[in-house]
A and B are shown apart, each in its own frame.
Chain A
Amino acid sequence: MKFSVTKEKLLECLQQVQNVVSTRTTLPILSNVLLQANGKEVRLTTTDLDVGVRGSFEADVEKEGATTLPARRLFTIIRELPSSEIQFDIDGKNAASIRSGQSFFKILGLPEEEFPPLPKFDDSKVVTIRQKDIRDGLRKTSYAISTDETRYVLNGVLFSFKDNKLTLVATDGRRLAMLDIDLEFPRSHEADIIVPTKAVTELQRLLTDEGDVRVSVGSGQIAFDLNNTLLVSKLIEGNYPNYKQVIPGEMKERVTLERETFLNSLRRVSLLASDKSNSIKLNFTKNNIDITANTPEVGEAKESLSVAYKGREFSIAFNPEFLMAPLRNLTEDEIFLDLIDEMSPGVIKIQSPFLYVLMPMRISS
C-alpha cells in the first residue's frame, strides 16, 4: 500500500476519528486506526467496540491496500511533520514508512484482518435529518445526561421517533431537558432508542450546520452518516423511564427573563454558594427576584432582578449549576421560568418546543 496526501487533509481526518480510540484498552488492535487505500481515497476507521468512526480523504493512491497503525502515535507524528506533502509506504509486514521533507519515520502496525469490522446496517430503518437541527437539539439537551453509572439507561440521550417528531430527552433524575424536532417518517419507523454519551459527544464534534445526516437504526445499534464521515454506536439496552410523568401539567407563576442577564446574575451569586449545600435561593416579591447565596463562615451574595411578577411572595432554592446549564446552552434571548411552589419542579421554556424541568432543593431554615 502506497499513497501520498497533504498534511492538512490527513490531520483533519485523523482528528475526526482519533477521539474514539481508548487509551486503556485490553485489545492492542483497538489503539490502532484502520487505513484503507482505494481508488482515489483513503479511509480511516477507529472503534472501541461500542462506538466507531470512519472518515476519508482524497489521496494519490499509487498502490491500494490496507493496514492498521497506532492512532495516537500516528497523530502526534503527522502533527509535527515539517512539510505539507506526506508519503506513506506500507510493506507486507504492516510497517509504515512515512516521509515528509527531510523527515523519515517508520512505525509498526498490525494486520487489517485483526481490526473488528464496523457493524452492518442492512435491514435498518433510515431517517434523514438536517444536521443543524440535531446539532442544536443535542446542544440543548445533552448536558442533562446522567453520569451515574448505576443508572445506565440515563447515560445517554433518548431519541424518540413518534408522530412525525423526533424527541430528544436527557435526564439525570434531578433535571430533565427535552426538545422536539419536526420530521417526516413512516409509522413503521417509530422507535425509542437510547444513544450512549460517548456517541452523543462524538456526534456533536462531527455535526455542522450544513447538510443532512442519515440516521440508520438497526437492532441494538445506530449509524449516523454525515456524507463523508460515518459514526456507528451500540445503543443502551433497557427502558428509558417514563419522563412525561415528571413534566408538570400546570403552572402557577410565570416570569419572563432575559437569558444572559439572568445567567450572569446566577454566575456571580453562585460564587458564594457553599460547596456543601451548593444551592442558591430565588426570592420572589412583587416585580422583583432576589437571587441569594451564602456560605457559613465565608459570606453571602445577593443580586436583584426586575421582572414582571404579580404572584405570591415565596422562595425556592436550586442547584446553581443545574439552573445555569440550560441558560448556557440555549441561544434564545428570552426564556420563561414557570413555577408552582417551593417543593415542585420549575420549568424553563422558550418559544420553540423545548423544556427543562428542574427539581428544587430543600430550603433549610
Chain B
Amino acid sequence: MDCFYAAIEVRDRPELRGKPVGVGGARDRRGVLTTCNYEARKFGVRSAMPTFMALQRCPKLIVLPTRFDVYRRESAVIRGILHRFTPLVEPLSLDEAYLDVTAHPGAPGALAEVIRNLIFQKTKLTASAGIGPNKLVAKIASDLKKPNGQFEVKPNEVPEFMAALPVRKIWGIGAVTEQKLVQLGIKTCSELQRYSRLELQKQFGRFGLELYDLCRGIDERPVEPQRERKSLSTEETFAINLETLAACEEKLEELFAELMADLAQKENTRVVTKIFVKLKFADFTRTTVERAGLAPSLGEYRSLLAEAFARTGKSVRLLGLGLRFADVDPPDAAQLALL
C-alpha cells in the first residue's frame, strides 16, 4: 500500500488532500513518524524520522496521531481481497504482503492490476506491486513504480535487472555493509557478481554466501502464509564507538523511539514477553541481556543497558534493543485456570 496510514487519514479527511501529512508521535513527546505522504516526502521527510526533525524539514507538515483500529480494519479488508486469489499470502506488516500466485491461471502482471483495482474500489487507497520469480525480485520491483504502479521482472529478465541494481537494494545490506562494499569498489550487483563465494564469505561471513545468491537474483525462500513474528528489534552500528554509559543511554533513547514506532506499525496487538539489549564491542565480542516479564519501557531498557555495559566496560560499536512476543494462540484455551 502507498503510504498506508497517511493515505487513510487523507482519504478520511479530504481537506488534507495535497498537503504534507505525517502520522506518528507528537514532537513534544519525542515522537517518531510511522508514515508520511508523498507531499511530505518532497521535503525530505521519511518514515521512522523523529517528528521534530520532520518539522524542521517541513514546517507545514500536519502530524496526526495513529488510529490503529482503523488501519487494522482496512488491512483486514485488503487481506480478504488478496486471499481471493491465492491462499499463499505472507503479510509483512499491515500494509505489505507477499503473494505466491504460481498456481493462478492468469498472467501475473494482469493479476496484479486486477488486485490493485479491487483494492482501490473497496478502500479508495492505492497500492503498488512488484512481480518477479521470487520474493527478492518482487520486493525490489515493488518499489520501482510507486505510488499506484507496478513493475514486472520476468524470469529471463532477472540477470539484466539485477546487474544494474545498486547493492543497497538487496535486503540485508545496510549502511555499514554498503560502506564496506564501496571500499571494495562495489556499487552495483554486477560488480558484486565478480566476487567468488569464497571471497564474499571472507569479507562478510555467512551473509557473504547469501550475498552471492542475492546479487544474482536467486532467492529460494518460500512464501509462508502463517509466518508469525517472534521478535522485533532495532540496532545501530556507530561510526565512532561509544565510550561511556551516558553516550549509550543517549543512543538508547533514539533506538527506543524507533522500536516503539516499529512496534506500533507492525505488531501492535501482541503480548510482549521479554525485552533485550544487545551490545557489540570494539573488539567484536558481544553480549545480550534478556529479561522476561518486563514492560518495554525506556526505564527497563536503561537498566538492561547498564547491566550489559557493566559486563565489560569496553567501548561500544553496536547497540541494539528488542522484544520477544508471546505465541499468538495459546493451544489449550479449554484448560481452566487455577491461579
Contact = CB atoms under 8 A, between A and B. Distances in A.
Contacts of A171: 338-339
Interface string A259-289: 0000000000000000011110000000000
Interface stretch (A32-40, A133-141, A218-226, A357-365): A357-365
Interface stretch (A10-18, A158-166, A172-180, A295-303): A172-180
29 contacts: A26-B288, A26-B311, A27-B311, A149-B274, A150-B326, A171-B338, A171-B339, A173-B338, A173-B339, A174-B335, A174-B337, A174-B338, A175-B338, A241-B339, A246-B338, A276-B331, A279-B334, A319-B332, A319-B335, A343-B336, A345-B338, A357-B338, A359-B335, A359-B337, A361-B334, A361-B336, A362-B334, A362-B335, A362-B336
A314 interface: no
A243 interface: yes
Given A149-B273, A149-B292, A278-B332, A26 B338 contact: no
Interface string B196-217: 0000000000000000000000
Interface in A330-362: 343, 345, 357-362
Interface string A125-156: 00000000000000000000000011110000
Interface string A202-244: 0000000000000000000000000000000000000001010
Interface string B239-265: 000000000000000000000000000
A199 to B, nearest CB: 17
Contacts of A362: 334-336
A150 B292 contact: yes
A361 B332 contact: yes
B57 interface: no
B192 to A, nearest CB: 33
B237 interface: no
Interface string A291-320: 000000000000000000000000001010
B331 A246 contact: no
A296 to B, nearest CB: 14
Nearest to B271: A150
Interface residues of A, number: 29
A215 to B, nearest CB: 26
Closest 4 CB pairs of A and B: A149-B292, A26-B287, A359-B336, A362-B334
Interface string B273-300: 1100000000001111000110000000
Interface residues of B, number: 19
B338 A176 contact: yes
Interface of B: 271, 273-274, 285-288, 292-293, 311, 326, 331-332, 334-339
Nearest to B324: A149
Interface of A: 26-27, 149-152, 171, 173-176, 241, 243, 246, 276-279, 317, 319, 343, 345, 357-362, 364
Contacts of B292: 149-150, 152
A277 B334 contact: yes
A149 B336 contact: no
Contact of A361 (B285, B335, B339): B335
Nearest to B336: A359
B284 to A, nearest CB: 13
Contact of B293 (A26, A152, A175, A357): A152
A77 to B, nearest CB: 26
B295 to A, nearest CB: 11
A161 B241 CA distance: 51
Contacts of B339: 171, 173, 176, 241, 243, 246
A280 to B, nearest CB: 12
Contacts of A246: 338-339
A360 B336 contact: yes
A171 B339 CA distance: 9
B339 to A, nearest CB: 5
B32 to A, nearest CB: 27
A173 B332 CA distance: 13
Contacts of A241: 339
Contacts of B274: 149
A277 B334 CA distance: 7
A361 B273 CA distance: 25
A72 B271 CA distance: 37
Contacts of B286: 26
